[in-house]
Amino acid sequence: MHDIVLLSTADWDNPFWTNKQHMAVNLAASGYRVLYIDSLGLRRPSLQAQDTSRMARRLRRGLRAPRKVRENLWVLSPLVLPWHHSMIVRRLNKTWLTLCLTLARAHLGLKPEMLWTYNPLTMDLLDVRRFKRLVYHCVDDIKAQPGMPAETIGEAEPRLIAAADCVFCSAPKLAEYCRGFNARTYFFPNVADYEHFSKALADDTIIPDDLARIPKPRIGFIGALSAYKVDFTLLRQIALARPEWSIVLIGKIGEGDPWTDPRLLEGLKNLTVLGPRDYALLPGYLKGIDVALLPNMINQYTAGMFPMKFFEYLAAGKPVVATDLPALKDYRNLVHIGTSPADFIAKIEQALAEDGRQSLSRLEAAREHTYAKRLEKMMAVVRGL
């Protein structure tokens, strides 16, 4: 099967790439023809600027034909009503999406061979019987995210899991849940673009000026600064306890969670929020960081999360200090786990004291966890159905 419709939960042009964009790129690079469907807005919209600007972009693109973004890869941005908790709205969206997808496939000459979906409401939004294969790639406990129609997702997702020809999960807890509805469930952790992030080790990679000006040692985090994911209280405690350290945060505050309150990150001389940075520049920022952090909250959402940054940090050769995320249980030889604020600080001190020999095992692990290798294993499962 060479034609794939990929139903995403992230917009293609979102600067903070997730599994969905990387998977689409790797599928296309492997010779599959991919139609990437932008997020259908599961989270209820807010009046924050990030939501209103996104809705304006969708209105501009909503009636356009699919646009080509890479070889073998097109993006469709259909208009939908965002109130997915309503059965009437879901039925209207399903009728409209079916028409949009039929026209898009006809325009591109794509066959209804495979639907690869990340959306737990897929059964309510598309007629999956039109496709020869249905793959559900479960990478988050989406119903645990702020603003989601949790009850609706909780009812719809088990039906999708049971109907799928196979289910791929990125965290052990997600795999355990999905196996309760479908025995053809496989665990594949999140991976990294090793070639890109290993540039942090190259002599000719330059540390950006805004980071180079910050005193060492630099303790850094790169990612979405959203309150349901990142423990802002922990970051503040670290900054207050070790004023000689520079805490550097690279990412957008409130990404995916417009209700995030950033006040805990304010008023600290040794804590700097640089804001989001272009993906192409991240190796340079990692080169200038002494210890990389995964200061995640411990809650329902993170219990089913495998942090994408983990193998990206390892590919850059950086020591990693993380909270006790269940998904990292099998990788404790590669990461320092902090079980309390005091322990987290102690683990950062241990990481700062490393002599560099430990980076070899981190690099070896990162080389084995790449998008290309994961895709090869996934498609072997699909071909064996």
Whether residues 319 and 205 share a domain: the answer is: yes
pTM: 0.92
CATH number, position 315:
3.40.50.2000
Whether residues 86 and 136 share a domain: the answer is: yes
Whether residues 25 and 157 share a domain: the answer is: yes
* In the block, residue with structure tokens 């972009």: 57
pLDDT tens digits, one per residue of 331-369: 999 999 999 999 999 999 999 999 877 889 999 999 999
Whether residues 19 and 86 share a domain: the answer is: yes
Whether residues 108 and 255 share a domain: the answer is: no
Whether residues 29 and 106 share a domain: the answer is: yes
Whether residues 142 and 273 share a domain: the answer is: no
Whether residues 175 and 37 share a domain: the answer is: yes
pLDDT band of residue 152 (cuts 50, 70, 90) is: very high
pLDDT band of residue 45 (cuts 50, 70, 90) is: low
* Domain tally, the chain: 2
Whether residues 214 and 187 share a domain: the answer is: no
pLDDT of 51 over the 60 cut: no
Domain with 98, as residue range(s), is 3-191+370-383
- Considering only the C-alpha atoms of the chain, give the largest distance between any 2 of them, rounded to a whole number of Å: 61
Question: Which pLDDT score is estimated for 59?
Answer: 65
Whether residues 66 and 124 share a domain: the answer is: yes
The 3-state DSSP class for residue 114 equals: strand
Whether residues 172 and 214 share a domain: the answer is: no
Whether residues 216 and 158 share a domain: the answer is: no
pLDDT tens digits, one per residue of 153-200: 999 999 999 999 999 999 999 999 999 999 999 999 999 999 999 999
Question: Which pLDDT score is estimated for 85?
Answer: 86
DSSP string, 171-202: SHHHHHHHHTT-S-EEE----B-HHHHGGGG-
